Structure formats: structure tokens, C-alpha cells
Amino acid sequence: MSSYFIGVDIGTTSTKAIAFSSEGHIISHHNIGYPISHPEPEQSEQDPDEILKAVIETIQQVQKEARTQGTLEGLSFSAAMHSLMAVDVQGKPLTQLIIWADNRAGAVADKLKLSPEGMEIYQATGTPIHAMSPLCKLLWLREHNPDLFKQAHKFIGIKEYVFFRLFGKYVIDHSLASATGLFDIHTLDWNKQALQKIQLPVDKLSTLVDIFHVEHCSSEWAERLTIPDQTPFVIGASDGCLANVGTGAVTPDQVSITVGTSGAVRIGIPKPWTDSKMQTFCYVLTPELFIAGGGMNNGGIIAEWLHNNLFPELEQGDFATLITKALSVPAGSDGLLFLPYLLGERAPVYNAHAKGVYFGITIQHTQAHFIRAAFEGIALAIYHTGRALLDQFPEINTLYVGGGFARSKEWVQLLADVYGKPIAITDTVESSGYGAVLVGRYALKTLKAWRLVPVDKSSQVFEPNSSNHQLYQQVFDLYCKLYNTLSPQFFS
């Protein structure tokens, strides 16, 4: 009988469980969403137990469908970065899950970023100083809720919480640890300078493990999840790093672009690297492979905002209708420009105070113009981040796109026009889940080389329209000028 492996991708707005055959084909897929709450301005939180429930139910559903296709080898995990929560000595949440989009620590981050110490911590940890990072979130908590800061038994992220509930252990993989701002990417250990900065004892953090770390499922959890007793669970890595593994973009000449709720542009490099402007991150997969790039706050969440505010009559997730309306107006949206900073921004500006802006509105502009300008704004933001990598790694010659937006061929064409380079849709848009499975199978020794698996990464290639690219170069110049002009006003 054939075998399959389940990749569990704990994302920002949903958890996906995907069963892949040994040949890499999807045989079962299930997705459960959950909301983001905003209890105060600049705050973005989630219920960790609701996410845990989604993890359990997606595994149950996928296993129900997949077990008729073969034997389960194991499960491996991908998770969103930069989340933080406090738990007590019993492991019960003392806070909600503070996610990457939370900007409450903006002022704290600004102060640290401008100091020599901030640059030293960035160069050691590879995580830009920004409100997204658990480092800055912890600084904020220590200042604004010192009792909670002292009371907490552990400070953990969402995957750590899931693994604690499943196995009773606090463990964090190197990949997710390297996105906290607390982990030294050179020594692969917690960074003493960062811990001293926030006055945090190291025993309030989880035990570090590599991405191939394995736990085994108890009989109680096996029965609940409807999987075999002692099924191996591989801890895996972060969603961003695994997206590169899933697309095969693990060398400096290949760029992986992922656009889901948020967005990112990443390359694989053989050693740690940081830039002098603090525009990019550098995260760890293994001691021989690091993922450098930039993450953006505003991707598919812009489409959700458009849906909720301009087209509430559409079915949730009806992305195709928005794209169809956008295509009814020409490239450049007849002069309407959008800065897509609804949640502040990470790369390359790292400005938690940045705001969304429509610029150039005239009487001729319709709903369709506003939609197209928004999609163009997302593409321009991705290009803005990509430029920081292109400047440092001129050998880049291949771009792959994955994530939910890759399902829209029209949007991928728009992105190719903005970049002026061919862009290929990866064989599976579930690149993070597939990356988790490759890591998991290698950890269990059912795969010999997780980085070298032949992947059909060019199922469809989109060539840029040269005239559109020339137009978008002009639009991008205006985009940068507009941001630079308005940036000081975002702080007021």
C-alpha cells in the first residue's frame, strides 16, 4: 500500500492540513479559519485555543479522507512567525496570542532601532528591529504590564503552544526561534545581549531544537486525531522558510515570492547575512542554509479589506470577482495609486506607523480603479522588497510565486509586469505545507535529500509585458516618492 505524509500549516487566518503522496501530489486538503481581534488600536490578537482546535480538526478531517489512500508516515509542521503569548506554570494562557501584525510595540521598536544597540542585536539575530518581533513585544510588556512579565512561566509562540498541548514539552525549532529577535543566528543559541535588554531569564523561553526534531503521539492523542499510536510528529520550521523549501528556491539565484494574508520575498544563502540598512531578515533553517529576504504585512488582507468594505455582497473569499473587475481598467489604474500599508509595514521600510493611502483620485475613478490600484499596490510593495535583494544578490535570475494569490494567473501576470522578469507558478501553491513534508520525510529517513528533491517548479511561466513594465517603473518612482514624502506624517 502507498504512503502519505501530512503537512500542517498554522497560518495567520487559518490552519491547513494537507496530505501529500510519496510522489508529492496532494491527496487530501482541509482548511479551518479563525478571526483576528483588535481590542485596541494597533493591537492584533488571536485565541490560541481556537487555533489549537483548528489544528486538531484539520488533522482529523484530512486523515479521514487520506487513510483510504495508504499508510500515514507522519506529520510535520509549518507556522507563522513572530507570535507571542504568556502561559502560567500549568501551561494555561495568561494572554491572547499577539501576532506579527500587532503594532503596539511601535514606539519601543523605534527607540531601539535608532540606537547602536539595536543594530548590534539585528546583526546578531537577523531579525529587523520592528514591532512585529517578540523582542519588541516583550520590551513593551515589561514596560506596560510588569506584573504579567514577572508572573509568566513561559513566553511562547503558537507552534510551541500546540506542541506543549500535544506532548507536554516546550520546544522551539531554530527557524521560528530565529524570527524572535532573541536568537543568535551565528551561534544557534539564545542571544545574551537581547535577553539582557529585556531582562528575561532564559528559562522563560523554550528549549531549542533543530527543524528535524521528532516527538511521538500518545495513545490518547492518537485516538482523538484518528491516527496510529506513536505516529511521529516532526517539529518543522517557519512558514516563510518552508515556502522556499517547498518551491526549491534554496540558492542565491532563485527568489521565492509568497503572497497569502501577508507577503514575502526570500532567497536561500549558505551563511548568515544582514544588510547595513536593516531592510532584510536572515533566518535559520540549518547551519548550512539560511533564508534571507523581507516580509510584508499587507498581502491578501488587502483583498479581504476590499471585500468587506466595497463588495460585502460577494461570497467570502471571492477573489476572482475582484480580479475580474480590476482587469476592466488599464495598467496603472488611470493614475490612481495605492500605498498598501493598512497594518503598518515591515520590509523594506519597517515602519509600524505607515498608513494606507489612495493618491490621485479624480471624478473618473470607479470601484474597479480602486480595486486595481490596490492589487497594483501589493505588487509594488513586493517589488520594493525584492529590489533590496536584487541590489545585494545580482545573480538572481529566477522568480517563483506561491501562496493563495498564485491561484490567480491574472495577478501573477501583473506581478511579472511590475518586476519585468519571468515569474513561474510553483507546482503546488501549498509551498509551506509541502516544505514541511519534505523536512518531515527527511527527518524520518524516508527521503534522502530534502533540499535536492526534483520539483517541477515551472508548470506555467508568465513573461512580462514590456510596455506595462515601463509604465510600472514610472508608477514605482511615484510610489517611492509618495511614501518618502508622507512618512514623517505617519508619526503624527
- pLDDT tens-digit map of 47-88: 999 999 999 999 999 999 999 999 999 999 999 999 999 999
For the segment 164-181, the average pLDDT, to the nearest whole number, is 99
Residue of 71, 57, 60, 64 whose CA lies nearest to 14: 57
Backbone angles phi, psi at 408, to 5 degrees: -100, 105
d(CA 153, CA 203): 9
pLDDT, residue 1, reads 66
Higher-pLDDT residue of 134 and 243 is: 134
Cell 489512500, located at residue? 69
Query: Is the Cβ–Cβ distance between 415 and 185 less than 8 Å?
Result: no
pLDDT, residue 175, reads 99
**Residue 40: pLDDT band with limits 50, 70, 90:** very high
Backbone angles phi, psi at 416, to 5 degrees: -65, -40
Residue-range domain boundaries for the chain: 3-239
d(CA 108, CA 13): 27
Read out DSSP for 134-196?
HHHHHHHHHHH-HHHHHH-SEEE-HHHHHHHHHHS--EEEHHHHTTTT-EETTTTEE-HHHHH
**Residue 492: pLDDT band with limits 50, 70, 90:** low
Class level of CATH domain 3-239? alpha beta
1: three-class secondary structure by DSSP = coil
Residue of 143, 158, 192, 140 whose CA lies nearest to 83: 158
Q: What is the mean pLDDT of the chain?
A: 94
Residues 193-222 have pLDDT tens digits of 999 999 999 999 999 999 999 999 999 999
pLDDT, residue 248, reads 86
pLDDT, residue 454, reads 41
**Residue 427: pLDDT band with limits 50, 70, 90:** low
Grid coordinates belonging to 144: 506596560
